[in-house]
């Protein structure tokens, strides 16, 4: 009989919700900054230096980190594990990391679209993309409804993608 000392494969479902809460707040700030800057227009270099753009670019990088390195390696997960998890009871269940990782990919695609549209000078492209991402992050953080996870489940059921 062998025993394994490796931790369970699942993740605490409260960790992605914590990250979604931080992301929702940052996206709300991005929308506010973007609305203030949209009237100015400007050159490509001016648009690239706007605070709303810079914040959305940082959020996009965080989505990329979660999508390509996985949610287990995301900075928000590390903060959750170090600061919040020791103060909470054990989770009622563990969830598979693949659906939240896929949700990070969806967030990356939405936010990178906003980055590109803003750089191309499309009016309110940044604000609309940040708004879409905000709605998803808000629903996840407040209600536990992960739209990207639901998309993942639908794509698995349709056999478009295979679960890991």
The domain locations on the chain are 14-90+97-157
Alpha helices in 70-124 (DSSP H): 75-79, 98-119
C-alpha distance from residue 160 to each of 33, 119, 152, 153, 155 (Å):
38, 32, 10, 10, 5
Q: One digit per residue, pLDDT tens: the chain, 164 residues?
A: 444 555 557 999 999 999 999 999 999 999 999 998 765 567 888 888 999 999 999 999 999 999 999 999 999 999 999 999 999 999 999 999 999 999 999 999 999 999 999 999 898 999 999 999 999 999 999 999 999 999 999 999 999 999 87
């Amino acid at each position: 009989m062998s025993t394994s000392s490796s931790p369970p494969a699942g993740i605490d479902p409260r960790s992605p919700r914590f990250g979604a809460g931080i992301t929702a707040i940052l996206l709300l700030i991005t929308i506010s900054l973007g609305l203030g800057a949209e009237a100015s227009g400007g050159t490509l270099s001016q648009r690239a230096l706007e605070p709303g753009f810079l914040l959305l670019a940082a959020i996009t990088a965080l989505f990329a980190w979660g999508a390509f390195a996985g949610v287990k390696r995301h900075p928000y997960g590390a903060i959750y594990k170090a600061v919040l998890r020791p103060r909470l009871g054990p989770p009622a269940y563990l969830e598979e990391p693949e659906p939240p990782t896929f949700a990070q990919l969806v967030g990356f695609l939405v936010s990178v679209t906003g980055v590109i549209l803003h750089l191309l000078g499309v009016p309110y492209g940044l604000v609309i993309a940040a708004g879409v991402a905000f709605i998803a992050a808000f629903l996840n953080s407040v209600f536990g409804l992960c739209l990207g996870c639901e998309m993942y489940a639908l794509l698995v059921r349709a056999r478009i993608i295979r679960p890991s």
